[in-house]
Amino acid sequence: MDYDKTEIPTMYDKARVLAPETRRLWQDLLSVHIGRAAVSLIIDLGCGTGRFSELLAGHFSAQVIGARRVHYKCASCGLSEHETDAVHCKPCGTLLHLTT
Ligand SMILES: [Zn+2]
């Protein structure tokens, strides 16, 4: 299955949109723990469709590299692409052993 050719990314973003107050909460929390000047490059592991990547780039005025998938063939269903932080295969639930 080619994830990008489905409606899943669009639906995911619509379902998980960050409300303005939620964005402000995240930015406030980031400001408390990380100085803006200390960050110039962010690796957003498990970025999904990038909904936090844009927030991070704007907040820190930094370059963000999103890594959303790793190639690993599921022994049960054969799916070969998974989120970088996946523990289980989404379609079949098989435990994955990703070594990213
Ligand atoms: Zn599977």
Q: What is the pTM of this model?
A: 0.59
Residue 100 pLDDT level (bands cut at 50, 70, 90): low
Q: Ligand 1: distance of its center to the CA of 9 in Å?
A: 19
Q: Ligand 1: distance of its center to the CA of 60 in Å?
A: 37
Q: Ligand 1: distance of its center to the CA of 93 in Å?
A: 6
Please give the structure tokens belonging to residue 88: 């289980």
Q: Which amino acid is at 1?
A: M
pLDDT averaged over every residue in the chain? 87
Q: Ligand 1: distance of its center to the CA of 39 in Å?
A: 37
Please give the structure tokens belonging to residue 39: 């960050």
pLDDT in tens, 5-58: 888 777 776 777 888 999 999 999 999 999 988 899 999 877 877 888 999 999
Q: Ligand 1: distance of its center to the CA of 50 in Å?
A: 24
Rounded CA separation 66/74 (Å): 23
Question: What is the domain partition of the chain in residue ranges?
Answer: 3-67, 70-100
pLDDT in tens, 43-73: 987 787 788 899 999 999 999 998 878 888 9
